[in-house]
Structure 1
Amino acid sequence: MGPGGVARLRAGHLTPAGTPTPSATRRLAEMGLFRTSPPKIYSLTVLTSTDCNLGCGYCFQNVEQDPTGGNRPPRISHARLTSETITGVLEFTRRRMAAAGLQALHVLLFGGEPLLNPRGCRELLARAADYGLVSASMISNGTLLTPLLAGQLAGLGLRSVQITFDGDAATHDAIRVRRSGGGTFEGIIRNITRVSETTPLGWALRVNVSHLNYAGIDALLDTLADRLDPSRCAMQFAWVGDVGIGYANEMRHTADLAERFFRWRRHALELGFTVSRPRAHLPCGTCSHANGLYGAVVNADGTLSSCWETAGKPGWQVGSVVDGYLPSEQTEDIWVSCDDKNHYSDDDRAVAAFNDAADAAFLDYLAETGRLRP
């Protein structure tokens, strides 16, 4: 797998160590497999609210576990996007887009739970139309999404919403718990169904996988296929990492679990969900380039972070929308990229072998069924 696509090699194309031979490498380079194209769209992530109505123990915006053992873990500081901050965000974005030579803008509504500030979401998208907005998406827990609000956001450019599930209904309700108490599974399903009836929004369903819920994921897939319209849903399976807040995922990167990941992908595809083929790790437009060349993560108070994972966390700010990015010598130790703060029980070689096994099995399946297109 490379930035430019996927190639299937035969044994003769590999060295005894399993790497491509020099001639195979040259041929793959000629085919463009290693070619990375610069982004054409500026990617702006904005936290409209740092608060959340759920108390998920693994959330990277927690600062520790709930000391009482309940569902109210301490979180990053409260901040809420205002009209004044939106002005700063969009003017900052205009300057950064000009510097990168980009004219098109994508906005990701993020939190906390972004819909705890619906006015901020609406105003940001409405005003971003004058700055080259071509599309918008949102990461939400889905508990506050109503047909009225979804229709308003869709009219302002929102195209898709990512929502997370944590296993079958019973397990999900034990993990994704309201801070006020009570489960969320049925409410999320109901909201997706109602919004789907009145808007064209697409759904990116993220299925978290941990030692607490992997046994119920097969049942979850069947339930989601029965209750939702799979043709409007993309699905991904995400390993819950340990971000150093006292919530450790005890799963190990075993061959058996790699087989499960493959089976879940295959089953989701057979049920009618969209499941993306495995891809090489591409540079993130937001956090993989020096000083956020092609994108930015902005907290609700206007401070800048390099990545979602550090937004709103004290000591991790790399600038502000008013003053721009700090000098690189001041940010090099706090500039993180996607998954940099995730820790696993196994070493890097075990993680890589696990991913290779799960990805190769799914790629073989796609090839065998005629789904692996250039």
Structure 2
Amino acid sequence: MHLNYDCNLKCSYCYQNVIAEKVVMNDKTEKDVINFIRKIVLDKNPEYIYLNFIGGEPTLHTDKMIRIMAACNKLNKSFYFSAVSNGTFGNIKKIEELLHLGLNDYFITLDGAQKDHDKYRVYESGMGSFSTIIRNLKRIQEKFPEIKIKLNSNLNDDNKNHVTELLDVLEEKEIKYPLVFSKVISTANGKFDKTIEDNDSFWYIAHKQAIHRGYKFKPYGREINLACMMKQTNCYIIGADGFLFSCIEAVGMNEFRQAHINDYGSAMFEIIRSQAQNIGYAYDTCASCTFLPNCDGGCYYKRSHDDFKCPKTDFKNNGLMIIKEIFEVKS
């Protein structure tokens, strides 16, 4: 659920840079979202509902988060709340209030040690955000041990060889949260000039360095196509304007916009939603490829702006090697 497209940071590679109008969910759409969730609960009777808040920076609008969570909790279903945040939010009182409502899971980005992180993740003034994030992580770790945080490091051509420096900082600061890596990808409005080529073995090397420092990873844990939301009928990507989108990287783009949440239950809603299920593979050879379950025929978002390359070599050089490393360490 995108509460907003505005953010207090100006990250150079952010996929939401394609969104010109930084919409914030208004009060009417907020009520529509709550009603949409209520309809899904009544219609599908799910055992478990995972609700992730994202932006922009969702913690700029904690009052909206609080109202939505409070309404969800009244539905007497098992909700699991989480938030993707840049980590600059440090209001202890609000964090405690969110925790009381069930938000105990955050995904926070650190793009390396300070010299790397502060190149890309800066405030509008140009000041880096690293020191603020480290301070907030320390405070949350101390005051709220029940809050689960997963640290995310976006790797690019500049910082890919500095993973050990990030690991050193986390050890020095005694920050003990799990770590995952992500790949910076080009967006529809242009190629990020530090994007790493797919055949580079950086993905394996980064994981190997972290594994040997005690970090644990699931095999293919960050291969997003193993759980691509475009292919999941029970997954809904909600924009700040109340429209659904088929791809989280393409929120705000008309090509990926689906129906409005108020249309839920109509025949047109189901027809529009089903179109994403019928997207074909990138190549004729995909159907017989050993790695089809990992790639699902190629990322449609990348294909839409001619940025897709077959990841088979990348899987061999990185994914399989990571699995081997995991099992060698375990044995």
TM-score, shorter chain, exceeding 0.5? yes
- The answer for the alignment partner of 1:77 in structure 2 is 21
- The answer for the alignment partner of 2:72 in structure 1 is 128
Superposed CA RMSD: 2.8
Contact 2:84 2:106 in 1 (8 A): yes
1:310 shift after superposition: 2.0
- The answer for the alignment partner of 2:184 in structure 1 is 240
Aligned residues: 304
Cα distance between partner residues in 1 of 2:226 and 2:195: 29
Q: What pairs with 1:255-266 in structure 2 (closer than 5 Å)? A: 256-266=201-211
1:320 shift after superposition: 1.1
Alpha carbons of structure 1 residues 56 and 349: separation in structure 2 relative to 1, 3 Å: same
- The answer for the alignment partner of 1:117 in structure 2 is 61
1:159 shift after superposition: 1.4
After superposition, the C-alpha distances for 1:106-133 in whole angstroms (9 at most, x for unaligned) are 2111101001112111111111102325
- The answer for the alignment partner of 1:16 in structure 2 is none
Q: Which deviates further from its counterpart, 186-195 or 85-94?
A: 85-94
Of Structure 1 and Structure 2, which has the larger fraction of its residues in helix? 2
Alpha carbons of structure 1 residues 262 and 196: separation in structure 2 relative to 1, 3 Å: closer
Counterpart residue identity of residue 124, structure 1: I
- The answer for the alignment partner of 2:158 in structure 1 is 212
Cα distance between partner residues in 2 of 1:344 and 1:353: 20
- The answer for the alignment partner of 1:332 in structure 2 is 275
SS of 2:109's equivalent in the other structure is: strand
1:328 shift after superposition: 2.7
SS of 2:112's equivalent in the other structure is: coil
1:94 shift after superposition: 2.4
After superposition, the C-alpha distances for 1:316-359 in whole angstroms (9 at most, x for unaligned) are 32011111263535873699899542476854222222233432
In the superposition, the TM-score normalised over structure 2's length comes to 0.81
Q: What pairs with 1:279-318 in structure 2 (closer than 5 Å)? A: 284=227, 286-289=229-232, 293-318=233-258
1:255 shift after superposition: 6.6
- Structure 1 stretches of 4+ with a deviation exceeding 6 A read 333-338
1:238 shift after superposition: 1.3
Query: Is 2:190 the partner of 1:229?
Result: no
SS of 1:47's equivalent in the other structure is: coil
Query: Is 2:37 the partner of 1:93?
Result: yes
Contact 2:121 2:129 in 1 (8 A): yes
Contact 1:50 1:111 in 2 (8 A): yes
Cα distance between partner residues in 2 of 1:130 and 1:335: 36
1:314 shift after superposition: 3.3
Alpha carbons of structure 1 residues 277 and 130: separation in structure 2 relative to 1, 3 Å: same
Same amino acid, percent of matched pairs: 22
Cα distance between partner residues in 2 of 1:228 and 1:345: 39
Q: What pairs with 1:129-144 in structure 2 (closer than 5 Å)? A: 129-131=73-75, 132-144=77-89
Bigger Cα Rg: 1
Cα distance between partner residues in 1 of 2:250 and 2:329: 36
1:81 shift after superposition: 2.5
